[in-house]
């Protein structure tokens, strides 16, 4: 297979993104909604058009507003 044939084969597959908030915290200048949109756009620019699901994980060391994640279509997992 060439890379382009693999891309087209999986272009409409669901893509899961796992985000470790402890190692990669939310940048101060971005909203969660804009991060979600940026990830979708980056995948679309690579011809991936399937559903995107994002799951963020945090060990709970910082206070995180779960409702903000839900409104941005990002699932939050905390212990």
Q: What is the pLDDT of residue 62?
A: 73
Tell me the domain boundaries of the chain: 15-77
Q: What is the pLDDT of residue 79?
A: 83
Q: How confident is the model over 41-61, as a mean pLDDT?
A: 90
Residue 4 has pLDDT above 90, yes or no: no
Phi/psi at 16 (5° precision) = -105, 135
Model's pTM, two decimal places?
A: 0.79
From residue 5, give the alpha-carbon distance in Å to each of 10, 16, 47.
9, 21, 11
Confidence of residue 75 (pLDDT cuts 50, 70, 90): very high
Q: How confident is the model over 47-74, as a mean pLDDT?
A: 90
């Amino acid at each position: 297979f060439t890379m382009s044939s693999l891309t087209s084969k999986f272009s409409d597959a669901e893509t899961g993104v796992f985000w470790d908030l402890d190692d990669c915290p939310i940048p101060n200048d971005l909203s969660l909604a804009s991060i979600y949109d940026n990830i979708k756009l980056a995948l679309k620019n690579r011809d991936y058009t399937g559903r995107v699901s994002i799951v963020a994980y945090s060990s709970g060391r910082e206070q995180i507003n779960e409702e903000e994640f839900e409104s941005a279509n990002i699932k939050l997992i905390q212990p």
